[in-house]
């Protein structure tokens, strides 16, 4: 329960850092926009080409695309802004890839947040917020030690989505775990074709880590489904496929093994 309810506040720290940068972008666009002032938008940011998003750790679909700055000069420059859930943000991905405080500062420094009217990249360093974002994440990059229901020590740290980021736990957690144990088991999100592939292609390349072996979970029931014995979709009660799922079906298992062999 504590893990799902705020835990150590890592997600909140990433959310604050992400929104700090987003607010700085809008402040920079607004800067100097008073009648007769010629010093407008000093970084020449194109409001239609802002790639950095706001975020909130709630499924607020109505905020995915929203017009902001509609209350006059005091409330910012009008533009179409976007909100992500916190775990789908760039900050969450950086948080999970960093190897330490210095590396975190460097990654945030070179992060592209928008483009100018003439197509040049604008970074968090250009906005002078990379250092502050780093300060907000100082404690958040420290791995969290938890205990399994069987009493085993585990690190629970990092939360980037695999469909928009690399979908793995933090590099920091792996580095600490490797200093404390002879071997470390880590789980990838979104299956072999997404999370594991990105662990090898992104996480390991970025961190210098190397996977010594891989464990593929393949249950008999899953092989039957892959072999066409039944189809269990979200929202469909298991009772409707229970007989097909639990009845011996060697041809379906054999056919399902083709998918297993492909993943291997």
User: CA 46 to CA 35: how far, in whole Å?
Assistant: 20
Q: Is residue 160 one of the residues assigned to a domain? A: yes
Q: Is residue 1 one of the residues assigned to a domain? A: no
What are the beta bridge partners of residue 121?
A: 115
Strands of 203-261, DSSP E: none
Q: Which of 136, 153, 188 is the last residue of a domain?
A: 136
Judge contact between 89 and 18, C-beta under 8 A.
yes
Quick one: 179 and 235 in the same domain?
Answer: no
Q: Which domain holds residue 200?
A: 145-207
Quick one: 66 and 150 in the same domain?
Answer: no
Q: Which of 136, 161, 191 is the last residue of a domain?
A: 136
Strands of 109-202, DSSP E: 112-116, 121-123, 145-147, 153-155
What are the beta bridge partners of residue 163?
A: none
| Amino acid 27: pLDDT | 93
> Which pair of structure tokens corresponds to residue 58?
């709630």
User: CA 15 to CA 20: how far, in whole Å?
Assistant: 8
Domains in the chain, number:
3
Quick one: 90 and 54 in the same domain?
Answer: yes
Q: What is the dihedral of CA 18, 24, 26, 32, to 10 degrees?
A: 180
Q: Is residue 73 one of the residues assigned to a domain? A: yes
> Which pair of structure tokens corresponds to residue 27?
């402040």
| Amino acid 89: pLDDT | 97
Quick one: 68 and 174 in the same domain?
Answer: no
| Amino acid 4: pLDDT | 78
Non-local CB neighbours of 64 within 8 Å, separated by 6+ positions: 82, 83
Q: Which of 136, 165, 183 is the last residue of a domain?
A: 136
| CA Rg value for the chain | 23
Q: Is residue 213 one of the residues assigned to a domain? A: no
Quick one: 131 and 15 in the same domain?
Answer: yes
Non-local CB neighbours of 139 within 8 Å, separated by 6+ positions: 8, 9, 13
What sections of 208-249 are H helices per DSSP? 220-226, 242-246
Q: Is residue 242 one of the residues assigned to a domain? A: yes
| Amino acid 35: pLDDT | 53
Judge contact between 160 and 93, C-beta under 8 A.
yes
Digitized pLDDT (tens) for each residue of the chain, 264 residues in all: 777 788 889 999 999 999 999 999 999 998 854 555 556 799 999 999 999 999 999 989 999 999 999 988 888 899 999 999 999 999 999 999 999 999 999 999 999 999 999 999 999 999 999 999 999 999 999 999 999 889 989 999 999 999 889 999 999 999 999 999 999 999 888 878 889 999 999 999 999 999 999 888 889 999 999 999 999 998 999 999 999 999 999 999 999 999 999 888
Quick one: 162 and 255 in the same domain?
Answer: no
Quick one: 15 and 113 in the same domain?
Answer: yes
Quick one: 102 and 191 in the same domain?
Answer: no
For residue 51, which phi and psi values (nearest 5 degrees)? Answer: -95, -20
Quick one: 132 and 149 in the same domain?
Answer: no
User: CA 219 to CA 27: how far, in whole Å?
Assistant: 53
Quick one: 157 and 196 in the same domain?
Answer: yes
Judge contact between 144 and 169, C-beta under 8 A.
no
| Amino acid 82: pLDDT | 97
Strand order in the sheet with 121-123: 45-50, 112-116, 121-123
Quick one: 182 and 224 in the same domain?
Answer: no
Q: Is residue 45 one of the residues assigned to a domain? A: yes
Judge contact between 164 and 96, C-beta under 8 A.
no
Q: Is residue 48 one of the residues assigned to a domain? A: yes
Of the candidates 96, 130, 113, 85, the one whose C-alpha atom is nearest the C-alpha of residue 202 is 96
Total-model pTM? 0.86
| Amino acid 36: pLDDT | 55
Q: Is residue 246 one of the residues assigned to a domain? A: yes
Quick one: 26 and 129 in the same domain?
Answer: yes
Judge contact between 123 and 113, C-beta under 8 A.
yes
């Amino acid at each position: 329960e504590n893990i799902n309810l705020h835990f150590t506040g890592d997600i909140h720290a990433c959310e604050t850092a992400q929104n700090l940068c987003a607010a700085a972008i809008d402040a920079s666009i607004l800067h100097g926009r008073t009648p007769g002032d010629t010093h407008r938008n000093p970084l020449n940011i194109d409001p239609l080409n802002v790639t950095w998003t706001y975020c909130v750790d709630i499924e607020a679909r109505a905020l995915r695309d929203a017009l902001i700055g509609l209350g006059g000069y005091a409330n910012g420059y009008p533009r179409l802004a976007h909100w992500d859930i916190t775990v789908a943000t760039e900050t969450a991905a950086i948080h999970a890839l960093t190897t330490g405080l210095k590396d975190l500062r460097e990654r945030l420094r070179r992060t592209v947040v928008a483009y100018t009217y003439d197509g040049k990249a604008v970074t968090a360093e250009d906005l002078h917020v990379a250092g502050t974002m780093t300060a907000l994440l100082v404690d958040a990059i420290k791995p969290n030690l938890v205990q399994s229901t069987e009493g085993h020590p585990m690190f629970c740290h990092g939360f980037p989505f695999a469909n928009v980021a690399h979908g793995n736990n933090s590099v920091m957690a792996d580095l600490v775990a490797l200093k404390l144990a002879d071997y470390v088991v880590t789980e990838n999100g979104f299956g072999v074709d997404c999370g594991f592939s990105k662990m090898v292609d992104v996480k390991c390349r970025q961190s210098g880590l190397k996977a010594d072996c891989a464990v593929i979970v393949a249950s008999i029931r899953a092989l039957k489904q892959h072999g066409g014995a039944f189809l269990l979709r979200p929202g469909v009660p298991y009772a409707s496929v229970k007989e097909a799922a639990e009845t011996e079906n060697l041809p379906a298992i054999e056919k399902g093994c083709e998918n297993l062999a492909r993943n291997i």
